[in-house]
A = this chain, B = another copy of it.
């Protein structure tokens, strides 16, 4: 069983699969890569039990079979090969990997010890890769990090006949990305944010095909297939807490505001939630912070609207900066009050929506 394959393609695909494969595990089979030989392709797959990934690499293949290799060692070797083409010769207990003057023989592992990874036979949903990547990437920051926060550590996908929406919240901030279109699927599921981080790297080609089966979201894009194990639990009814009236709003460039907030917040104490204070009046947005080292301030001219002449409130600077990051140009921040959530709209992309709860002060 012989394979000839371009080094670059093999290394790139391996890189995507290898990323999720644990280098150490109490189950040694989890650190293995499964290599399948089929007519004209190598099928590489691996899993960390949370996410399965399969990559198909076009290759010149003689013979068929399934093999198991130590994922990270194989990947390191392939990346370092001297030539542009790799030859693999699978024997009984070894695979011979050669390229130019270099040659290595790696011991094959028991393919039965690699977790079985199966993908759907068909996919009933479809979405543009760029939209899905932007949606998931734009909201992922708002997911919680701490283990005890359970379902808040996921990204919710709402799919129905008129909606594709990705949502994250950790209780202090919320972000969603909303498309008025249908993927062809119907369901509400929550995927672990960490799996979403891997997933977006694999959405390289249109269309992305989707399938929802018991406890699992499956996607296929070009040469990559992936299964994401879904989270169990009830996602909060977040729409209920989004305010409806905003007595004051400002329009400002997101990058300019983000840099000013970051700069001013440098002196604020981490232990005091990185507090920055905002005071808006007469078209001027004043940002101030103070801490053990001293105090800082910066003023930005903004376009101000609304019935209230001024507002003073405080945020965790990191939450504000995170919410601004997905916005490339101007954004509108609408204030519902000093202690109630502020919401942000990307004026260049109406799909993005963010909400940040101000810090309780005084």
Contact = CB atoms under 8 A, between A and B. Distances in A.
Interface of A: 70, 73, 76-77, 80-82, 94, 101-107, 259-260, 262-264, 266-267, 292-300
Nearest to A293: B73
The 6 closest A-B pairs by CB, nearest first: A104-B296, A106-B294, A102-B298, A80-B263, A105-B294, A73-B293
B299 A101 contact: yes
Contact of A102 (B76, B81, B263, B292): B263
A81 B267 contact: no
Given A104-B295, A296-B104, A266 B94 contact: no
A70 B105 contact: no
Contacts of A292: 107
29 contacts: A70-B293, A73-B267, A76-B266, A77-B266, A77-B267, A80-B259, A80-B262, A80-B263, A80-B266, A81-B263, A82-B260, A82-B263, A82-B298, A94-B294, A101-B260, A102-B263, A102-B264, A102-B296, A102-B297, A102-B298, A103-B296, A103-B298, A104-B267, A105-B294, A105-B295, A105-B296, A106-B294, A107-B292, A107-B293
Contacts of A300: 101
Given A77-B266, A266-B73, A299-B101, A259 B293 contact: no
A266 B103 CA distance: 12
A183 to B, nearest CB: 42
Contacts of A106: 267, 293-294
Contacts of A263: 77, 80-82, 102
Nearest to A106: B294
A296 B96 CA distance: 9
Contacts of A102: 260, 263-264, 296-298
Nearest to A294: B106
Contacts of A298: 82, 101-103
A9 to B, nearest CB: 19
Contacts of A82: 259-260, 263, 298
Contacts of A299: 101
Contacts of A267: 73, 77, 104, 106
Nearest to A109: B293
Contacts of A259: 80, 82
Contacts of A73: 266-267, 293
